[in-house]
């Protein structure tokens, strides 16, 4: 059986501030680096078949401590990158809601089928992210595989796995920074066995973790 460990990257200054951070590439801040180390302390000794990450540095930095403990190279999977926010990338969500109210309302009500201006819809994210998972499954029929990605991308993936309408990915699926979800790929199909788990993080890293 293949067991996918779907991990959101650790905290960045952008996630702490609730700033749209899609194609922009902020590094982990000090708290985020500590989160990556805490995850590795808990999960680094797992018998990993492979470790995959988005090409963005915040995902790669989160994967690095676990990869080091496991003695594995991080494999980059472009389809795991974060949603493209287009014109909104780098801006505070509250600022966008106020300054671009109509387009923000259209997107936030139906993000599965609408996109930020110049960005991606949930359906577009699903197409590339599911293809990335299919590539991983083709390479690994069994074992533990770590996949480090991003908030919106993981929310969309989990909606697809659970059969939840993509319009609900922002309203029905939580994915905290450095939160872990686990999916077992059985003969009957995928089963979610853990969602958004942050039990590997000490209390001081959970305080004020942003979005």
The CA-CA-CA angle for residues 206, 207, 210, to 5°, reads: 85
Angle in degrees, CA 185, 191, 194, rounded to 5: 110
Catalytic residue among 9, 101, 140, 200: 9
User: How many CA atoms lie within 13 Å of 90's alpha carbon, on the beta-carbon side?
Assistant: 6
Sign of the CA dihedral with 45 first, then 1, 53, and 149 last = negative
Length of the chain: 211
Which residue among 5, 101, 140, 150 is the active-site one? Answer: 150
Long-range contacts from 130-134, C-beta under 8 angstroms, 24+ separation: 130/157, 130/160, 131/79, 132/52, 132/77, 132/78, 132/79, 132/80, 133/4, 133/157
Whether 110 sits among the annotated catalytic residues: the reply is no
Phi, psi dihedrals of residue 189, rounded to the nearest 5°: 125, -175
CB of 3 within 8 A of CB of 181?
A: no
Torsion angle (degrees, nearest 10) of CA 151, 154, 158, 159: 60
* DSSP code at position 88: G
140 in active site: no
Catalytic residue numbers? 9, 150
């Amino acid at each position: 059986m293949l067991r996918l460990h779907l991990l959101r990257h650790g905290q960045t200054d952008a996630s702490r501030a609730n700033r749209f951070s899609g194609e922009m590439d902020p590094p982990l801040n000090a708290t985020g680096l500590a989160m990556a180390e805490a995850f590795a302390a808990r999960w680094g000794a797992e018998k990993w078949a492979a470790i995959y990450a988005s090409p963005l540095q915040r995902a790669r930095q989160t994967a690095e401590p676990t990869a080091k403990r496991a003695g594995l190279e991080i494999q980059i999977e472009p389809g795991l990158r974060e949603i493209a926010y287009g014109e909104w990338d780098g801006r505070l969500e509250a600022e966008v809601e106020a300054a671009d109210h109509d387009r923000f309302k259209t997107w936030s009500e139906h993000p599965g089928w609408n996109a930020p201006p110049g960005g991606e819809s949930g359906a577009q994210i699903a197409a590339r992210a599911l293809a990335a998972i299919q590539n991983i499954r083709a390479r690994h029929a069994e074992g533990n595989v770590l996949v480090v990605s991003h908030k919106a991308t993981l929310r969309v993936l989990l909606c697809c796995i659970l059969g939840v309408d993509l319009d609900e990915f922002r309203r029905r699926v939580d994915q905290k920074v450095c939160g872990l979800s686990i999916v077992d790929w059985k003969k009957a199909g995928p089963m979610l066995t853990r969602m958004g788990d942050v039990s590997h993080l000490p209390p001081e890293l959970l305080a004020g973790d942003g979005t």
